[in-house]
Amino acid sequence: MDTTKFPASCFCLNNHTQPSSLNHMNETLVKKHGSFALKRRFIDSIFGFFIKRLYSPKKIDGGKQTEEEGKVCSWLYALAQSGPNLVFEYVRSTERGLSFKEAEKRLAETGPNVPLSHSFPSWMQLLWNAFFHPFNIILIVLAILSFTSSDYPNGIIMLVLVFVSVALRFYQEYNSSKAAMKLVELLKCPVKVQRCAGSVIQTELTVQIDQRDVVPGDIVIFGPGDLFPGDVRLITSKDLIVSQSSLTGESGTTKKTANIREDRTTPLLELRNICFMGTSVVSGSGTALVVLTGAKTYMSTMFSTIGKNKPPDTFEKSVRNISYWLIAVMLLVVPIIVLTDYYVSRNLSRAILFGVSVAVALTPQMLPLIVNINLAKGALAMAKDRCIVKSLTAIQNMGAMDILCIDKTGTLTVDQLIMVHHLDSRGLPKERVLRFAFLNSYFKTELKNPVDEAILAHVYSNGYRFEQSKWEKIDEIPFDFTRRRVSVIIEADSEIRDRSYPHFSTDKLVVTKGALEEVLQVCSFCDHADSGSTITLSVEDQQKIMHMGDELSNDGLRVLGVATRRLTTESTDTGLVNREKMESNMVFLGILTFYDPPKNSAKEALRRLAEKGVEAKVLTGDSLSLAIRVCKEVGIRTTYASTGPDLELLDPSTFHETVQRATVFARLTPTQKLRVVQSLQTAGDHVVGFLGDGVNDSLAMDAADVGISVDSGVSVAKDLADIILLEKDLNVLVSGVERGRITYGNTMKYIKLSVVANVGSVVSLLIAVVLLGYEPLTARQLVVQNFLYNVGQIPIPWDTVEEDYAKFPQRWSSKSIPMFMLWNGPVCSMFDIGCLVFFWCYYEVYHPSSGDKLYHSGWFVEGLLMQTLIIHMIRTEKIPFIQEVASWPVICSTLLISAVGIALPFTPIGKVMGMTDLPLSYFGFLVVLFLGYFFLSQVVKRVYIRTYKEWL
């Protein structure tokens, strides 16, 4: 054997001496990874599992193969270059197939032909993941401290919040895991394989087994409609046409043949003697040797990144960062307050109780509730706009999205062909061309397709009368992917023949319609419509017609040819069995062109998205010319475009630069779509949405920040999508973007309000304890104040957002939260301390024994009103109450909580809490105090906005 013909890596796979060599071969080739399955239900189901797995960000390289892909490619190339005998030797199989004993042994070695990563987490693992969250840890620590200080009501409230949070998350993830396990149990698909039996004389048997039991070395028998259960090397084939749309994203088909030996220069997916797992047989039949199964197949290496490509959710990550930041502040401030209070009061339990109350006040206890209400309200609003939200956090990402990647078919276009031209050989419109095309489509019975529907619709809608009732169908030569044409044999009565077709001397005609190149190959004559005669079709004429077809195709049109042939008496007597002879020496009539027009709503929707700062990029598997034509008609800039083969030739830096510049990407494979999305996210720092509806969109959809599909999409796409559109209308998506930004804005209001009000209040308490030498509020008063304040913030999700805010993408920046607090928190603390100064100067209360109840009552009312009114300053960049007014639920909540806080010191409940009546002069002081606060806060706000160019 000449070893120079094969990659060196191939020979490490060929180990004849060890029984476990096949398993060793596969382990050497490919490392363990996630996988993609066989049948469509298998493919569709398994993605539902991967999307729920833990993931980590993955840096891309601009289009290079992963290590797993490289190893699998080397192995497949080696097999494609080898003859059948050597292939059998490589895989350690025979022409008779494996014996039942050997197949059972290999199944034990290689494992079932299913993904190897089906290790579902136990309920204990899920419970631990749900429990271990910084926010839960904070509440549990506070609950323990509350119980230690005998503050049982407060401790119980904390534990209830933890229980609700953990229970909801555990319930959701446990149900998802159970559903994934059930899907795997249902993954059954029968496959015909050839096995050999007998100890002395071996007999070949054809048996049907489950696709999970297929092993390398099996010989599979396939026919139309079958999907390959693994990567296979063809042994025999007959007119085999395979659809590889699950790999390439293109709707076209590929001809495969066993009787060929490829070379390394052939692109992997164009290898004619190799078929891939997940691809399907369109027509033809044959046998094939299974060379790779399960997680070691080429498709598995492509889709092994499912669940690993999506970047960490920015919103969830930022919430965790806020929790860690609050813990740090708590660890710094609370011990100081406890020690200071103990130094003054010499009462440790009282000091600890007050410290716990301060920690409670520092914690935004309503954060989970406010966030979930915000998201749920956004989801309901989007449902009214015909958007179903599967992942609530996706609403936040919708608001931050600044690039939307979309497929062309069915999204920008109506996904329905219309007829554009019916031209003769000179490029002139001729009714005769349309007439025969119509007769072909009308009498055709097998495989009716959109082209036939477009021809019939064009004829009927334009009032043509072609008298199809006076024709009779004799026979049909159906379409196949080798000939790429369809013919019908029809017979006309003598009246219509004499009137309309005098130059035909027979009643029987063959009418052929198909790919222009294939139709021209069977034509020897050309119709001369003006004279009603035929002329010889020269090579020059063929070149002119092909050139005309290329020009039309470059304009984004689908081009077909039409031809006819009269049948002689001799040919009709043969019973019409010689189909090859009938489709020969035909008369070329002309060209038909078709177009999938853009939707009327697409241009307006894309304009609205552009106005909102969302750039559209088209990622399609179709031709570049067609993609550019559609994009021009819907208003997408096409000055810079690229194709998948071009991207593969670029180095990483040029790849990223090209992706940022281009707006149209054509002829992309699923992996290339994924890499484009990842490049936009990493190199471009964009928040990317991907709208797709096919298997070939799954990788990119999974990696995008927002995966969007449509209700009519395949199950895989819908399983992976965060948002499902009930209509293939981009205007629905525009509404979703608007709703996402409103939801994001209201969420940010509460988060920024909480850090300013809570941290500012705690800092004020620390300063007051140091200056006064005692607590300005008792622990009970502080807890009640915090409770009223939190209840008052519940209506925030029902607040309005400024129109200008929703015009631009809104991205979370965790760094902005500390800066926001450092700018605005001191303003609150300044006016809190101003309240103490007022008591000193106006009421001459210098010592707790002379007026501790007055201090407590005044600080309680001022602090509650301050925290309640801050929302009106935070919620808008404009002047509150003058230029911008909050929604009526927020206004009502503010008035209600303020009224309760002012009235409480005068009620019996207030007396029990240790408060007293406040003088009227104090409320006059509060009016002046809050006017000063709003004035100074507005000044700080304007300076902050000028400095950081943002507010919320």
Catalytically active residues are: 407
Name every residue whose Cβ is closer than 8 Å to that of residue 789 and which is 6 or more positions away in sequence. Answer: 757, 864, 867, 868, 897
Name the residue among 735, 756, 760 with its Cα closest to residue 875. 756
Q: How far apart are the first and last CA of the chain?
A: 71
Output DSSP code: residue 344: H
Contact in structure between 75 and 10 (CB atoms under 8 Å): yes
Other CB atoms within a 10 A radius of the CB of residue 582 amount to: 21
CA separation, residue 623 to residues 367, 488, 649 (Å): 49, 30, 18
Rg of the chain over all Cα atoms, to the nearest angstrom = 37
Q: Provide φ and ψ at 355, rounded to 5°.
A: -60, -40
Where are the alpha helices (H) located in 95-227, listed in sequence order? 100-110, 123-131, 134-148, 152-185
Contact in structure between 363 and 792 (CB atoms under 8 Å): no
- CA 729 to chain centroid, in Å, comes to 17
Tell me how far apart the alpha carbons of residues 629 and 624 are, in angstroms, rounded to a whole number. Answer: 9
Contact in structure between 918 and 853 (CB atoms under 8 Å): no
Tell me how far apart the alpha carbons of residues 596 and 419 are, in angstroms, rounded to a whole number. Answer: 9
Q: Which residue has the tokens 């406010």?
A: 370
Tell me how far apart the alpha carbons of residues 640 and 659 are, in angstroms, rounded to a whole number. Answer: 10
Output DSSP code: residue 884: B
Helices 21-29 and 67-81: crossing angle in degrees, nearest 10, is 130
Output DSSP code: residue 692: -
Tell me how far apart the alpha carbons of residues 292 and 213 are, in angstroms, rounded to a whole number. Answer: 13
Where are the alpha helices (H) located in 14-66, listed in sequence order? 21-29, 40-50
Tell me how far apart the alpha carbons of residues 587 and 526 are, in angstroms, rounded to a whole number. Answer: 5
Contact in structure between 890 and 772 (CB atoms under 8 Å): no
Tell me how far apart the alpha carbons of residues 277 and 230 are, in angstroms, rounded to a whole number. Answer: 4
Tell me how far apart the alpha carbons of residues 888 and 874 are, in angstroms, rounded to a whole number. Answer: 17
Number of H helices, E strands in the chain: 36, 24
Structure tokens, 482: 């080798």
Q: Provide φ and ψ at 661, rounded to 5°.
A: -80, -40
Tell me how far apart the alpha carbons of residues 64 and 560 are, in angstroms, rounded to a whole number. Answer: 37
| 627 three-class SS | helix
Query: According to the 3-state scheme, what is the secondary structure of 315-375?
Result: HHHHHHHHHHHHHHHHHHHHHHHHHHHHHHHCCHHHHHHHHHHHHHHHCCCCHHHHHHHHH
Tell me how far apart the alpha carbons of residues 539 and 528 are, in angstroms, rounded to a whole number. Answer: 16
Name every residue whose Cβ is closer than 8 Å to that of residue 778 and which is 6 or more positions away in sequence. Answer: 354, 856, 913, 914
Contact in structure between 68 and 301 (CB atoms under 8 Å): yes
Give Dmax (Cα) for the chain. 126
Other CB atoms within a 10 A radius of the CB of residue 686 amount to: 21
Other CB atoms within a 10 A radius of the CB of residue 93 amount to: 23
Output DSSP code: residue 117: -
Contact in structure between 417 and 594 (CB atoms under 8 Å): yes
